[in-house]
């Protein structure tokens, strides 16, 4: 790892972030396109949740993590406070691992 | 001190419950940051580079990826390419939350660095307007601080840092994101798109490198279908003179409120 590698990564990441925001300022999106942009963000976030819940790279993440997410998700669905959702999810996964369930 | 309304601090509209929720995420991300600091130090990355990476890149997944690839003896170029691929999703995220982050250039230039999955989801879970704007900046700055404090602490503690998995932190993030997504998933078209996105991403993950599967999720838009009929939809009255969808004063379309009941408030309210 070198400074030049780090700076290239930092600049690239920053420009990806800024590009979206800048485009948004330049474009006047018709409502129809705006709906797709919004649904696109939902699609990306759900895809992120699904892969982060079930996978480590391309392999199954084990049972403890999805079980934790499931418990947290159910709590969220029952309108539990956000903090409770996060703590329940972490607690379930940690508890299962302490019991030897991976 | 002169305070103009237009340069009002984004934190002036911070809601106490939003602060509590953001602190929960910050606590979790500090733990992950600590594990990053410890891992990078163990991999032999110089301390100044570890700190600089968390400050300047501020994207956990790509930071872990770069250190893992370089430690495994992979090329630095390949590591950066893979990391940037992983961060590609930030572009469509920015497009989606652009108006929420800031409408002015200084705001966008600074706000861009705080754009991560959590701050995007956090802002989108709030009603658009001042509340979402404040939520974005609150979540972004708290998580940025927690990530960097965590990195330094982990780097200094080294091997004493326990595996974050033993705290279940790896389950906390997807669960938190899911909770933030639930309000938008109450719309039928969003649910359809989300389900397709999840299935496509999981399938893609079996063959594609990290980063791409999530982007493949965008193909879920193929099942978006037609926009739900809205009573005040200008397009619904083609004969009306001057009824252009782009005709709003502030450039933002009328909030995408669905027909039927108002979407219930997000989690925690």
ipTM of the complex: 0.95
**Does an H or E element contain A44, and which?**
helix A31-54
> What is the rounded average pLDDT of the residues A57-76?
95
**Please, are residues B116 and B94 in contact by the beta-carbon 8 Å criterion?**
no
At B227 the pLDDT is 82
Taking one residue from A and the other from B, the number of pairs with CB-CB distance under 8 angstroms is 332
- pLDDT mean across residues, chain A: 94
Q: Rounded distance, CA A31 to CA B254, Å?
A: 8
At B160 the pLDDT is 87
Cβ pair A21:B90 closer than 8 A: no
At B256 the pLDDT is 39
Q: What angle do CA B4, B10, B16 make, to 5 degrees?
A: 130
At B74 the pLDDT is 86
Q: Rounded distance, CA B210 to CA A3, Å?
A: 24
> What is the rounded average pLDDT of the residues A32-54?
95
Instruction: pLDDT tens for chain B, 269 residues: list them.
Output: 444 444 456 676 788 899 999 999 999 999 999 999 999 999 999 999 999 999 999 999 999 999 999 888 889 999 999 999 999 999 999 999 999 999 999 999 999 999 999 999 999 999 989 999 999 999 999 999 999 999 999 999 988 888 888 899 999 999 999 999 999 999 999 999 999 999 999 999 999 998 999 999 999 999 998 887 654 444 444 444 433 444 333 433 444 344 334 444 444 33
Q: Is B223 touching A (CB cutoff 8 A)?
A: no
Long-range CB contacts (within 8 A, 24+) of B222-225: B222/B196, B223/B192, B223/B193, B223/B196, B224/A35, B224/A36, B224/A39, B224/B189, B224/B192, B224/B193, B225/B189, B225/B192
Domain residue limits, chain B: 10-163
At what angle are helices B117-124 and A31-54 packed, to 10 degrees? 130
Chain B interface mutation, best of A17, A29, A74, A96, highest count of B Cβ atoms under 10 Å: A17
Chain B interface mutation, best of A45, A53, A84, A102, highest count of B Cβ atoms under 10 Å: A45
Name the DSSP class of A78.
Answer: T
CB within 8 A of A40, min separation 6: which ones? B92, B95, B96, B218, B221
Q: Give the predicted TM-score (pTM) of the model.
A: 0.83
Cβ pair B218:A44 closer than 8 A: yes
Q: Which of A3, A81, A29 has its CA nearest to residue B98?
A: A29
At B9 the pLDDT is 67
- What would the DSSP string read from start to end of chain B? ----GGG--GGGG--HHHHHHHHHHHHHHHHHHHHHHHHHHHTT--HHHHHHHHHHT--HHHHHHHHHHHHTT--HHHHHHHHHHHHTTHHHHHHHHHHHH-SSHHHHHHHGGG--HHHHHHHHTSPTTHHHHHHHHHHHHHHHHHHHHHHHHHHHHGGGSPPGGGGTHHHHHHHHHHHHHTTGGGSHHHHHHHHHHHHHHHHHHTTSPTTHHHHHGGGGGGG--SPPP-TT-GGG-TTSTT--TT--TTSPPS--PPSSSPPPP-TT-
Name the DSSP class of A99.
Answer: T
At B253 the pLDDT is 40
Cβ pair B62:A89 closer than 8 A: no
At B264 the pLDDT is 41
> What is the rounded average pLDDT of the residues A86-94?
96
At A58 the pLDDT is 84
Cβ pair A89:B172 closer than 8 A: yes
B226's tokens: 């037609």
Q: Which of B24, B88, B93 sits opposite A41 (nearest CB)?
A: B93
Which residues are bridge partners to A59 per DSSP?
Answer: A56
Please give the C-alpha separations between residue B148 and each of A21, B54, B79, B154, in angstroms, as whole numbers. Answer: 24, 6, 22, 10
CB within 8 A of B74, min separation 6: which ones? none
Q: Is A33 touching B (CB cutoff 8 A)?
A: no
At B234 the pLDDT is 45
B94's tokens: 């920015």
Please give the C-alpha separations between residue B165 and each of A49, B43, B153, B169, in angstroms, as whole numbers. Answer: 17, 19, 18, 6
Instruction: Give B 73-132 residues with CB within 8 A of chain A.
Output: 76, 79-80, 83-84, 87-99, 101-103, 105, 108-109, 111-113, 115, 117, 120-121, 124
């Amino acid at each position: 790892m070198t400074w030049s590698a780090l700076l290239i990564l930092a600049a690239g990441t920053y420009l990806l972030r800024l590009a979206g925001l800048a485009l948004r300022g330049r474009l006047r999106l018709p409502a129809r396109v705006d709906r797709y942009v919004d649904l696109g963000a939902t699609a990306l976030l759900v895809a992120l949740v699904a892969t982060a819940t079930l996978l480590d790279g391309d392999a199954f993440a084990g049972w403890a993590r999805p079980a934790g997410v499931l418990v947290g998700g159910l709590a969220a669905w029952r309108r539990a406070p956000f903090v409770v959702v996060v703590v329940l999810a972490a607690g379930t996964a940690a508890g299962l691992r302490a019991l030897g369930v991976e | 001190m002169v305070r103009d309304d237009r340069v009002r601090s984004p934190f002036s509209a911070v809601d106490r419950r939003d602060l509590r929720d953001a602190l929960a995420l910050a606590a979790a991300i500090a733990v992950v940051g600590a594990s990053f600091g410890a891992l990078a130090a163990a991999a032999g990355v110089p301390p100044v580079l570890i700190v600089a990476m968390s400050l300047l890149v501020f994207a956990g997944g790509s930071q872990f990826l770069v250190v893992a690839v370089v430690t495994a003896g992979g090329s630095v170029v390949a590591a950066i390419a893979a990391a940037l691929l992983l961060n590609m999703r930030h572009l469509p995220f920015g497009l989606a939350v652009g108006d929420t982050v800031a409408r002015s250039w200084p705001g966008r230039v600074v706000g861009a660095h705080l754009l991560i999955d959590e701050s995007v989801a956090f802002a989108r879970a709030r009603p658009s307007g001042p509340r979402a704007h404040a939520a974005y900046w609150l979540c972004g700055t708290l998580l940025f601080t927690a990530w960097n404090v965590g990195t330094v602490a982990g780097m200094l503690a080294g091997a004493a840092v326990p595996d974050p998995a033993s705290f279940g932190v790896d389950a906390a993030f997807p669960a938190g994101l899911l909770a933030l997504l639930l309000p938008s998933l109450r719309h039928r078209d969003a649910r359809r798109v989300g389900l397709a996105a999840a299935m496509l991403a999981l399938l893609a993950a079996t063959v594609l490198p990290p980063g791409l599967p999530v982007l493949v999720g965008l193909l879920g838009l193929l099942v978006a279908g037609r926009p739900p009929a809205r009573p005040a939809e200008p397009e619904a009255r083609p004969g009306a003179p001057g009824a252009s969808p782009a005709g709003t004063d502030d450039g933002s379309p009328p909030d995408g409120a669905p027909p039927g009941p108002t979407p219930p408030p997000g989690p925690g309210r």
